[in-house]
Amino acid sequence: MNLANSRATIGLTTKATPTSTAVNGTVQIGDNPQTITFPDADVAYSVRAFFAAGSPELDLATTTGSTTGSTTWVAGAAQVETATAAGTATAAGNVTTTVTSTGMAGSPLAITTAILNGDTPAVWAGKVRTSLAANATIAERFTVSGTTTSIILTRKPSAVLTADNETVNLFLATDASLNIALAGPAGVTAAPTSANTVAGTVTSGVLIRDGDAKDFEGVTIPTCTPKAVLLVNGGTAALEIDGSGTLANLDIEGGSSILFAGGNVLTGETALTIVGSSTFLTVTVLGKAV
């Protein structure tokens, strides 16, 4: 890898407008952006990590770009519950769909759907799906789907993390109370219990992009002395960096960036342990091979 024009730009400014009577103009607060150059930098790499809930750890060796030792990623899965419509209506009336789910507002929530005499199971099931999808409480918590006689609720993720063009869903564990009960007018077969067709599996650990001690060309990163490290937390939750040197117990709030550049600012921090929850982080390193 051949590097050129390696630099860091650091600045924090704002404009203040005085509010006193008959006072005009603006005042700049902060220094103009400063540029630090790294003419001897010959190593550069970036690592991105998505953190699930539960305070998983990212262990990054800044000298090599290796993330060995980080908490293993478990993608998880969305819980899927299915009710099956049966019986052709022999009278007009309402199908009552009762949805039970721990923590859902109003649970158990009863939703009525008008059906007609002669509606087959596939017809009135479609009407029930429409009613469920139109309910704000249900729509906030579940995706409603299904075809023919199936009425399906799929639990939405607890959080969705998006960085660049990648989206990562954080799923919850199975809600044992989740149930879709059906009852209706004459001809409709009552179905008090639904089927848990897919168990919910909680998302855990750290999903790491790169971090395999190789650069973007697939070449092993040589052991280096970090010259500058940029930490960008693009999520909404805070991250905590624990280490043996200058970065110990430093919090990075959601949606913030911190740059460490030049000299010995990373002394004692060739290995960073970064703890987060439901957020993501990008780390970029400039270094000099040793």
Report the mean per-residue pLDDT for the chain: 92
Q: Rounded distance, CA 199 to CA 167, Å? A: 22
pLDDT of 267 above 70:
no
Instruction: Using DSSP, state whether 130 is helix, strand or coil.
Output: helix
Instruction: List, in order, residues 6 or more apart from 79 with CB less than 8 Å away.
Output: 154, 155, 171, 172, 174, 175, 178, 196, 198, 199, 200
The pLDDT score that the predictor gives to residue 263 is 56
The pLDDT score that the predictor gives to residue 242 is 77
pLDDT of 284 above 70:
yes
pLDDT of 170 above 90:
yes
Q: Within the chain, where are the H helices?
A: 121-134, 136-141
Residue % of the chain over a pLDDT of 70? 95
Question: In the beta sheet, which residues pair with residue 225?
Answer: 288
140-179: b (≥16 Cβ within 10 Å) or e:
ebbebebeebbbbbbbbeebebebeeeebebbbebbeebb
CA 240 to chain centre: 17
Q: Are 278 and 53 in contact (CB under 8 A)?
A: yes
Strand arrangement, sheet containing 239-242: 57-61, 271-275, 239-242, 250-252
pLDDT of 175 above 90:
yes
The pLDDT score that the predictor gives to residue 250 is 80
Domain 80-198 carries which CATH code? 2.60.40
The pLDDT score that the predictor gives to residue 262 is 67
Calculate mean pLDDT across residues 212-221: 93
Instruction: Give the model's confidence band at 248: pLDDT under 50 very low, under 70 low, under 90 confident, else very high.
Output: low
Instruction: Give the model's confidence band at 269: pLDDT under 50 very low, under 70 low, under 90 confident, else very high.
Output: low
Calculate mean pLDDT across residues 6-34: 88
The pLDDT score that the predictor gives to residue 244 is 57
The pLDDT score that the predictor gives to residue 204 is 97
The pLDDT score that the predictor gives to residue 12 is 87
Q: Rounded distance, CA 210 to CA 216, Å? A: 8
- Give the tens place of pLDDT for each residue, 85-126: 999 999 999 999 999 999 999 999 999 999 999 999 999 999
**All structural domains of the chain with their residue ranges:** 28-74+206-289, 80-198
pLDDT of 83 above 70:
yes
What tokens were used for 77? 């899965």
- Domain formed by 28-74+206-289, architecture: Sandwich (2.60)
